[in-house]
Amino acid sequence: MSKGKKIISYTVLSLVSFLSVFPLYWMFSAATNKSVDVTRGRLIPGTYLLENIRNLTAQYEVGGAMLNSLKYAVVLTVLSLLICSLAGYGFEIFHDKGKDRVMNVLLLAMMVPFVAIIIPLYQMFAKVGALNSTLGFILPTISTPFLIMLFRQSARSFPIEIIEAARMDGLSEFQIFIKMFIPTMRSTYSAAMTITFMNAWNSYLWPKVIMTNPKSITMPMLVANLKEGYVTDYGMLMLAVLLCTVPTAIVFFVLQKNFAEGITGAVK
């Protein structure tokens, strides 16, 4: 590559990197400034962070919202990974035309918008008394066609010879799944974990509908509540957004090495 092309490439990459990082910087900077400074467009970090923290914690149950979001996200992630990986494994390892038809139906279900089924879902959960509960939060999304398809595609690269050898050694199908499939598909599990946790943590519409008790509020709901009323404290609002962003950022950076590989269905 010539020197001129390198300069152009580095310039474009630097610009794109700046545009990607700037919103995060502005969010942090706004969280340390007064509301009036944020509305004026101040970009330099201020000294109002502790005051914003005191105001936020005094007016809202931030700790409770964080714990609720963490509880719902962790439970949904664990159960979703287990169920969807079992389904994807079964669809591919015990493959036949009937399962292909079922899989096609599941993929078609991805085209149905979630808002189209919110009302019947709410009526169902209200009748069984599952409002304001972890079960009510996780059940509609505990299994998704995308994750099942992801694990099914990964299972296609899982050597069938290993499965046959394990069966000859006397291992049950569940033992093969636990002792061989899960360790081999570590990258796929990392990718699925990242996607599921981020979706569960950032979920707003369904929790807003089903969580009617203020004690069941989640962080996205708390952030939305900060914009209600006639006056918005933007410093406090951006602090809440920052707190809401930190857990998903940690999960992504911890699992990023395996994320891209897991999406492509590669096997280590």
Q: What is the 3-state secondary structure (H, E, C) of 16-63?
A: HHHHHHHHHHHHHHHHCCCHHHHHCCCCCCCCCHHHHHHHHHHHCCHH
What b/e readout covers 145-165, taking b as 16+ CB neighbours within 10 angstroms? bebbbbbbebbeebeeeebee
Give the DSSP letter of residue 95.
Answer: -
Confidence (pTM)? 0.86
Q: Rounded mean pLDDT of the chain?
A: 87
Q: For the packed helices 145-155 and 62-93, what is the interaxial angle rounded to 10 degrees?
A: 50
Structure tokens at 102: 């079922």
Q: What angle do CA 79, 263, 149 make, to 5 degrees?
A: 55
Q: Are 73 and 197 in contact (CB under 8 A)?
A: yes
86-90 contacts: CB < 8 A, separation 24 or more? 86/177, 87/143, 87/148, 87/151, 87/152, 88/147, 88/148, 88/149, 88/150, 88/151, 88/152, 88/153, 88/154, 88/155, 89/151, 89/152, 89/155, 89/177, 89/181
Please report, to the nearest 10 degrees, the dihedral formed by the alpha carbons of residues 107, 111, 116, 121 taken in order: 20
Q: Give the tens place of pLDDT for each residue, 120-157.
A: 999 999 998 888 888 889 888 898 888 998 898 888 88
d(CA 27, CA 21): 10
Q: Give the tens place of pLDDT for each residue, 212-262.
A: 888 889 999 999 888 776 778 889 999 999 999 999 989 888 887 777 666
Q: What is the pLDDT of residue 1?
A: 63
Amino acid in the structure at residue 73: A
Q: Give the tens place of pLDDT for each residue, 82-128.
A: 999 999 998 888 888 888 888 888 888 888 888 888 999 999 999 98
Q: Are 218 and 203 in contact (CB under 8 A)?
A: yes
